[in-house]
Amino acid sequence: MDLTSFVTSLGTYFGIFMGLMIVYAFLSWRAGNNVVYYPNKILKGLEPLEGKNKSCNPFIWMKVALLPSGVDTAVYFVFLNTVLSILVLSAVILLPVLLPVAVTDERVVKESLTSHYNQTVVDELQKLTMGNITEKSNRLWAFFVCCYWFSLVALGLLWKACKHVSCLRAQALMDPNNVKPEQFAVVVRDIPAVPLGETTTEEYVHSYFKAIYPDTYYKCMIVTDNRKVDSIEYYNDRINETVTKLEAEQKITQSKKQQNAALVFFTSRVVAASAAQSLHAQMVDTWSVSPAAEPRQLIWHNLTIKYFERELRKYLVHAIVALTIVFYMVPISFISAFTTLQNLVELAPFIEPVVRIKALRTVLEAYLPQLALIIFFYLLPKLLLYLSKLEGIPTQSQAVRAASGKYFYFPVVNVFLGVTLGGTLYRTFKLIEDNPKSLLSWLVMSLPDNATFFLTYLSLKFFVGYGLELSRLVPLILYHFKRKYICKTEAECKEAWAPGDLGYETRVSEDMLIVIIVFCYSVIAPLIIPFGVLYFGLGWLILRNQALNVYVPTFESNGRMWPHIHNRILASLILYQVTMLVYFGLQKFYYASLLIPLPILSFIYGFVCAKKFYPAFERPILEVAAYSMREAPDMELIFRSFIPPSLNSEKIDDENFEDSISKF
């Protein structure tokens, strides 16, 4: 890609961004769109334009968008912040040092003169990269030192972030004004079959825990197998059958429905925290106890899956995902090949008039093959979340983390490896034919070329991506469409504008792809750093606004996402260090091996972090749980908060549920 086309696309993207900003300013100003642009505030009962100046300045959100809501959101901003700081702090050295050093050398010019292809085009952008440095040149020392600088800055700031997040989590869990009900409960799974002498699972659980915790045991709540019933159907049934008969029947089934899982409540946070991480039974696959999560994020039907079945499901799902990562292009290509315009017209003759329009036909023919890929990437997060829940994961937040971990590989394989390998292979196809051994060499030497592609990719991401994010055009259209044609009741209307949460499962993974790209090219093509700064800076501002005005967290895991994020940043750093090691080696720099301490240092850093910080994200900490509360907890309120909505609903009277609540 030469300079002109690069500048052209940059300009185009910027134009789109400005357009979207104007659209946002215009639309968000209209009160009818408030439910799309300020759903968070509306749900909190705040005035949508509160905090906005009466001056109708649409960019006023930049000022107010500075307060995080919840630790999970805060952790996401710590992530953005940390990457941003790493890039800014390294740019201070890298840009003024490396760009002049690179541009004053002349390898690219020389090579384009001697090369037997492309003799006329000199890529101006490539002159600003490490690819322009002559082999074995002493100028490589500048890049070498910058390699160390970047790594040390990254490790230092990551360490600071780890401490900060660790502190945030502890503070949130200790907050005397916001005592969380889940801190008083533990989840008990794999309850053995009720022995002779006890009548119900409930009594069994009660006597078991009462014996171990005579002073602090409060109550237990057995998981029951409640069918989801449509209320209208339910009431019809109720009317049709004799009411009394039904109720008697229900009472019997209710106690039969008691499953092998329970929530156990304690009157002390320390005891609950300690119980959640202790082995209770000599046979470890029975009475397995784990920390409880917020009531809203418990996946009830997963609680009853047995120990070894969970293990089996986990391995099966991992195998399926691994196969999908490796082979996902196969079925997509297959489907693409079949979804030609010709076949579509045969299947659905009513689209024929559309196809007759020539301009449209050209566009469709061009984009149809990619349609399968687009649909695949749209459905993928949903599929992965579904698969993660199939594993038997007990909480929503953990399922989201698991899905995010799985999703991570797809953009990386698709974009990073796809472009780097694909682009390189294409360009060096002829050379490889002559000399197949130089594959690796050419692969790395053409990294600076790929950098230009990624500059464009990044600007697309932050101009068009964030523009769409802020202007919320798709949700806006969907909302107005639904309101006009679908919604009948008020509840359905509310559903139509429900904003959802930040969507960590895809967002973090996509940001992480940018982290990998920017880290890997930071020293090779330092020009990518300002683009990275723009991506994370703009992202920070726009997502602050969205977090405040739009998205509503569906759960709060108090920052348990952090080890997941931190590990992946560290992996990107190590990938960068190894890339640099290979790249310096291929530049025939004699001292390349002096870079070996860097990945070793990163591994040691990762090991220390994993030992020092991570366990506090996995398990409840006693010194935190022992922190004094403002007042004694209302145990009945805490217990009630865990009653599932389907049983707690005012539509159905409570008596059905009585049986599944401990009477003790």
- Sign of the C-alpha dihedral, residues 286, 290, 294, 298? negative
User: In terms of CB distance, is 29 or 614 closer to a second copy?
Assistant: 614
| Cα first-last separation, the chain | 74
Least spacing, CB of residue 6 vs a second copy, in Å = 48
Spatial contact of 664 and 205, defined as CB atoms under 8 Å apart: no
Least spacing, CB of residue 561 vs a second copy, in Å = 17
Least spacing, CB of residue 239 vs a second copy, in Å = 49
Q: Is 277 exposed, middle or buried (0-12, 13-18, 19+ CB in 10 A)?
A: middle
Cα 262 to chain centroid, rounded: 30
Least spacing, CB of residue 624 vs a second copy, in Å = 6
Give the span between the Cα atoms of 655 and 643, in whole angstroms. Answer: 13
User: In terms of CB distance, is 96 or 615 closer to a second copy?
Assistant: 615
User: In terms of CB distance, is 145 or 179 closer to a second copy?
Assistant: 179
User: In terms of CB distance, is 311 or 352 closer to a second copy?
Assistant: 311
Give the span between the Cα atoms of 393 and 194, in whole angstroms. Answer: 25
Spatial contact of 594 and 144, defined as CB atoms under 8 Å apart: yes
Query: Judged by CB under 8 A, which of 229, 334, 608, 653 binds a second copy?
Result: 608
Query: Judged by CB under 8 A, which of 274, 336, 438, 456 binds a second copy?
Result: 274
Least spacing, CB of residue 619 vs a second copy, in Å = 5
Between residue 121 and residue 160, which ones bind a second copy under the rule CB under 8 A? none
Give the span between the Cα atoms of 598 and 595, in whole angstroms. Answer: 6
DSSP label at 226?
A: P
Least spacing, CB of residue 586 vs a second copy, in Å = 32
Give the span between the Cα atoms of 446 and 424, in whole angstroms. Answer: 6
Between residue 616 and residue 645, which ones bind a second copy under the rule CB under 8 A? 616, 619-624, 626
Least spacing, CB of residue 609 vs a second copy, in Å = 10
Spatial contact of 251 and 659, defined as CB atoms under 8 Å apart: yes
Give the span between the Cα atoms of 647 and 658, in whole angstroms. Answer: 10
- Sign of the C-alpha dihedral, residues 378, 384, 387, 388? negative
Contact range with a second copy by CB under 8 A, out of 181-189, 331-339, 504-512, 613-621: 613-621
Least spacing, CB of residue 622 vs a second copy, in Å = 5
Query: Judged by CB under 8 A, which of 2, 106, 285, 495 binds a second copy?
Result: 285
User: In terms of CB distance, is 53 or 171 closer to a second copy?
Assistant: 171
Query: Judged by CB under 8 A, which of 110, 612, 634, 658 binds a second copy?
Result: 612
Contacts of 323 (CB under 8 A, 6+ apart): none
Write the DSSP string, 290-315. Answer: EE---GGGB-HHHHTS-HHHHHHHHH
Spatial contact of 186 and 291, defined as CB atoms under 8 Å apart: yes
The number of residues that bind a second copy (CB under 8 A) is: 41
b/e 540-550 (16+ beta carbons within 10 angstroms → b): bbbbbbbbbbb
Q: Is 121 exposed, middle or buried (0-12, 13-18, 19+ CB in 10 A)?
A: exposed
Query: Judged by CB under 8 A, which of 358, 437, 484, 611 binds a second copy?
Result: 611
Residue whose tokens read 């009945």: 636
Between residue 231 and residue 270, which ones bind a second copy under the rule CB under 8 A? 270
Contact range with a second copy by CB under 8 A, out of 280-288, 521-529, 578-586, 643-651: 280-288
DSSP label at 46?
A: -
Contact range with a second copy by CB under 8 A, out of 273-281, 344-352, 515-523, 579-587: 273-281
Query: Judged by CB under 8 A, which of 8, 250, 278, 593 binds a second copy?
Result: 278
User: In terms of CB distance, is 29 or 307 closer to a second copy?
Assistant: 307
Query: Judged by CB under 8 A, which of 307, 377, 442, 453 binds a second copy?
Result: 307
User: In terms of CB distance, is 358 or 611 closer to a second copy?
Assistant: 611
Least spacing, CB of residue 534 vs a second copy, in Å = 36
Contact range with a second copy by CB under 8 A, out of 67-75, 118-126, 142-150, 271-279: 271-279
Residue whose tokens read 């690796």: 440
User: In terms of CB distance, is 152 or 626 closer to a second copy?
Assistant: 626
User: In terms of CB distance, is 243 or 626 closer to a second copy?
Assistant: 626
From residue 92, alpha-carbon distances to 54, 89, 129, 520, 526 in Å are 39, 5, 17, 18, 11
Least spacing, CB of residue 481 vs a second copy, in Å = 49
Least spacing, CB of residue 267 vs a second copy, in Å = 12
Alpha helices in 446-561 (DSSP H): 447-459, 466-471, 473-485, 490-497, 504-521, 528-549
b/e 567-601 (16+ beta carbons within 10 angstroms → b): ebbbbbbbbbbbbbbbbbebbebeebeebeebbeb
Least spacing, CB of residue 515 vs a second copy, in Å = 26
Helix (H, G, I), strand (E, B) or coil at 316: helix
Phi, psi angles (nearest 5°) of residue 359: -60, -45
Give the span between the Cα atoms of 427 and 413, in whole angstroms. Answer: 20
Query: Judged by CB under 8 A, which of 16, 49, 89, 281 binds a second copy?
Result: 281
Neighbours of 248 (CB within 10 A): 11
Sequence-ordered strand ranges (E) for 400-546: none
User: In terms of CB distance, is 211 or 330 closer to a second copy?
Assistant: 211
User: In terms of CB distance, is 74 or 496 closer to a second copy?
Assistant: 74
Between residue 178 and residue 217, which ones bind a second copy under the rule CB under 8 A? 208, 211-213, 215
Q: What does the block give as tokens for 241? A: 């059958």
User: In terms of CB distance, is 52 or 269 closer to a second copy?
Assistant: 269
User: In terms of CB distance, is 278 or 333 closer to a second copy?
Assistant: 278
Least spacing, CB of residue 601 vs a second copy, in Å = 15
From residue 43, alpha-carbon distances to 64, 128, 438, 579 in Å are 18, 50, 61, 48
Least spacing, CB of residue 115 vs a second copy, in Å = 47
Least spacing, CB of residue 436 vs a second copy, in Å = 28
Q: Per CB under 8 A, does 308 bind a second copy?
A: yes
User: In terms of CB distance, is 213 or 463 closer to a second copy?
Assistant: 213
User: In terms of CB distance, is 166 or 302 closer to a second copy?
Assistant: 166
Least spacing, CB of residue 383 vs a second copy, in Å = 28
Q: Is beta strand 288-291 parallel, antiparallel or unpaired with respect to 185-189?
A: antiparallel
User: In terms of CB distance, is 384 or 624 closer to a second copy?
Assistant: 624
Write the DSSP string, 150-166. Answer: HHHHHHHHHHHHHHHHH
Spatial contact of 161 and 558, defined as CB atoms under 8 Å apart: no
What residue ranges bind a second copy (CB under 8 A)? 166-167, 169-170, 208, 211-213, 215, 270, 273-275, 277-285, 287, 307-308, 311, 607-608, 611-616, 619-624, 626
